[in-house]
Amino acid sequence: MNRLSVAERAAILGMLVEGNSLRSCSRLADVSLNTVTKLLVDLGAACAKFHDEHVTDVRVRRLQADEIWCFVGAKAKNVTVEKKQEGWGDVWTWTGLDADTKLCVSYLVGGRDGGWAKEFMQDCARRIKGRVQITTDGHKAYLEAVEDAFGADVDYAQLQKIYGAPTDAEMRRYSPAKCIGADQKVVSGDPDPKHVSTSFVERHNLTMRMGMRRFTPLTNGFSKKIENHAAMVAIHAVYYNFGRIHKTLRITPAMTAGLSDHFWGLEEIVMMADSYALAPVKRGPYKKRIQVA
């Protein structure tokens, strides 16, 4: 079976994590679109497993949580019932970031209701050791989710931003109106007011939008399959934590958090994925082409 070399796969990985679409990767690497897609899926599965096993028992003092919107196939208002069953529509990626080490502690791709919030916060709780201060936005789903996952052993506050009424010019923009203030609300424990902030996790949201073509608005690079979307998020999380030098820290977040003792190059991430590779799945028969007379 023909297979790309480690160097060739690392080059494609570098394109993917720097915001290139699947088709642009295919053109630049001179390989088929199916080859890039298969590499995406295989790397995604390995990275998800690696993150699940290695980002654990992390000492986090201040956790910032947020959710970032995207869509698969089409926006929710344009999705048919049949396509909705295939995973099309609005998709939210929940992220939990350590404000000190900038480590992406947890992520979850799904909806935005209370069930998803509970699953996300429970995953955060099982990865963090010790008491933690948590800051989220004013999304009501966090209230029950944080209590359910951490109980009373948490200092939790919400930061609700207040936006002014948009002008006629601003209503034609895609960004929100101007922020004119923020309201802090202590939910439980005794959080330090100086560190009630979501600035770092919101900056991480920008990193995700810049590093993954699927998150870039007003393009046709959006995901067509929810599985591929989740795979790219998993790849980004491992690359961001282990293989991307943070400009402020000057080392990777994983090194700052004590989860790694060195910077991971792209080839090392590819070789790690090889060690986590699943058994190959036999492909089914190809559909015969229908010739039109």
Query: Is the model's pTM score more than 0.75?
Result: yes
pLDDT of res. 168: 65
Q: Which positions ≥6 away from 171 have C-beta within 8 Å?
A: none
Distance of alpha carbon 237 from alpha carbon 47, whole angstroms: 8
**54-101 tens-digit pLDDT:** 999 999 999 999 999 999 999 989 988 888 888 899 999 999 999 999
**203-245 tens-digit pLDDT:** 999 999 999 999 988 888 899 999 999 999 999 999 999 999 9
Q: Quote the percentage of the chain above a pLDDT of 70.
A: 88
Q: Are strands 89-98 and 155-163 parallel, antiparallel or unpaired?
A: unpaired
CB 276 within 8 A of CB 50: yes
**270-287 tens-digit pLDDT:** 999 998 875 444 444 544
The rounded mean pLDDT for the chain is 89
Q: For residue 232, give the nearest of 241, 223, 245, 243 by alpha carbon.
A: 223
Distance of alpha carbon 17 from alpha carbon 102, whole angstroms: 18
